[in-house]
Amino acid sequence: MDRREGADTGRPGRRRILFAGVVLVVTALVAYTSALNVGAAGPQVEIKNHKYSPATLTVPVGTTVTWTNHDDDVHTVVSMTEKFKSRAIDSDETFSQKFIEPGTYEYFCTLHPLMKAKVTVK
């Protein structure tokens, strides 16, 4: 009797079962990521027209948030409590911050103090 994969045993081979499991996990991760409105690199905040968008963002603990400057002016991303601070971010440059503790992190641009937003970490 031939028990190799692909033999006429009426049962799927181990590789097929493993492949189906991997497809299921990947599909679940894609659905989860889409539900969170998270890109491949994590949550994104755009800096455009002297505003942070979204102005309020909620993320789980351990998430890395990335800010991208789409303005012609240089901006910064600085926590009001100095928990994090970016360098000057020029046009099309980015800054990323990983949030490892729950809380609300309000931040602003030191060059344009009216620019304010917050990240809530749960």
44-121 CATH: 2.60.40.420
Give 64's strand partners.
98
Contact 117, 79 (CB under 8 A): no
pLDDT at 35 (0 to 100): 38
Contact 87, 95 (CB under 8 A): yes
pLDDT at 8 (0 to 100): 54
* Residue % of the chain over a pLDDT of 70: 70
Rounded to the nearest 5 degrees, what angle is found at the Cα of 65, between the Cα atoms of 62 and 67? 165
Model confidence at 32: pLDDT above 90: no
Model confidence at 38: pLDDT above 90: no
Contact 112, 50 (CB under 8 A): yes
pLDDT at 37 (0 to 100): 41
Model confidence at 2: pLDDT above 70: no
Domain with CATH 2.60.40.420 in the chain: 44-121
